[in-house]
Structure 1
Amino acid sequence: MGIMISNSSNEPIYQQIAGQIKGMIIRGHLQEGDALPSIRGLARDLQISVITTKRAYEELEKEGFIQTMQGKGSFVAMQNKELLREKKLKIIEEKLLEVVKESKLLGLSHQEVQEMLQILFQEV
C-alpha cells in the first residue's frame, strides 16, 4: 500500500496512517469501493500494534473516507465530488501558503513568484 511511518515525527502513528490513506483517496490513488488491507494485515506489514491500525481506520471512517463491513473488511467510501474537490483545494492552499512564507523570507516579490509559477505550469 505504500504507507511510511516516521519515528521522528511528532504526529502519532495512527494519524500518519490515516493521513496517508486520506491523501491516497484525495489524489485518486484509491477509488470508491477499493478494499483496504485488513487491520491485522496492515499492522503486520507496518510492524505496529493492531490497536494503532484500528484507531487509524476508525478516524477514516468517522471522517467518511472509508466504510467497514463486518466480516468483509474496509473499503473506500463513496465521496461527494464537490467535498473531495474542496479537500484537494485546501491541500493546495496549504502548500501555496508555505511557498508564500518561504518567498517572503527570501525577499522574493509577488511578481517573481508569479513568474516562477507560470514557468512551472508551462513545463508540466
Structure 2
Amino acid sequence: MNLIVNHSSMWPIYDQIADQVKDQIMHGKLAAGEALPSVRTLAKELKVSALTVKKAYDTLEAEGFIHTVHGKGSFVAFADQSLMLEEKKKEVEADLEMAIRKGRSCGMSDEEIAQLFQIVLED
C-alpha cells in the first residue's frame, strides 16, 4: 500500500491516511478481503504515531471500508457499491462547495456562479 503523508499540512494526518486508503479501495487498488498493514507497521513506514494510524483505521471501520479481527488485523471490507457511491457524492459536494466559496471570494454573485456552472455542465 503506497501512502504519502504531508507532515506540514494543516490537514490531520489520520484524515490523510484514511482518505488515501478509501481512494485506493474505491478505485480497486485494494481488493475486498485484502489485509492492510498492521497499525505498528504502517506507523513505522509513515514515521507517524501508532495512535494516528489507529485513529485512521477506526475511522475507516466506522465508515464501513475496513473491518478488524482482533489478533488477525484489518482487512478491506467487501465492497458495498452504494456506500462507495455515497462517498463519491460527498466528494463532489465538497468540491462544489469549495468552488462556490472561491467564486464568492472573488466577487461573483450566486447568479454568475450558477451561470458558470451551467456553461461547464453543458461542455
* TM-score (normalised: structure 1): 0.75
Look up the SS of the partner of 2:10 in the other structure.
coil
**C-alpha deviations, 1:97-123, integer Å up to 9, x for none?**
21233234353823333323433xxxx
Could you list the structure 1 runs, at least 4 aligned residues long, displaced by more than 6 angstroms after superposition: none
Change (3 A) 1:68 1:115: same
Q: CA RMSD in A?
A: 2.4
Show the counterpart of 1:116.
Answer: 120
Q: Which moved more, 1:2-11 or 1:42-51?
A: 2-11
Query: What letter matches 2:36 in structure 1?
Result: L
Look up the SS of the partner of 1:67 in the other structure.
strand
Matched, 1:59 2:39: no
Change (3 A) 1:29 1:99: farther
**C-alpha deviations, 1:48-98, integer Å up to 9, x for none?**
222322232122223221112234321111233222211111111111221
Contact 1:18 1:60 in 2 (8 A): yes
Alpha-carbon distance in 1 for matches of 2:107, 2:24? 32
Note the 1:8-23 alignment, pairs <5 A: 8-23=8-23
Look up the SS of the partner of 1:88 in the other structure.
helix
Change (3 A) 1:106 1:27: farther
Percent of residue pairs identical:
43
Show the counterpart of 1:122.
Answer: none
Q: How many residues align?
A: 119
Contact 1:26 1:87 in 2 (8 A): no
Contact 1:15 1:56 in 2 (8 A): yes
Question: What stretches of structure 1 of length at least 5 have no aligned partner?
Answer: 120-124
Show the counterpart of 1:77.
Answer: 77
Alpha-carbon distance in 2 for matches of 1:18, 1:112? 33
Show the counterpart of 2:108.
Answer: 107
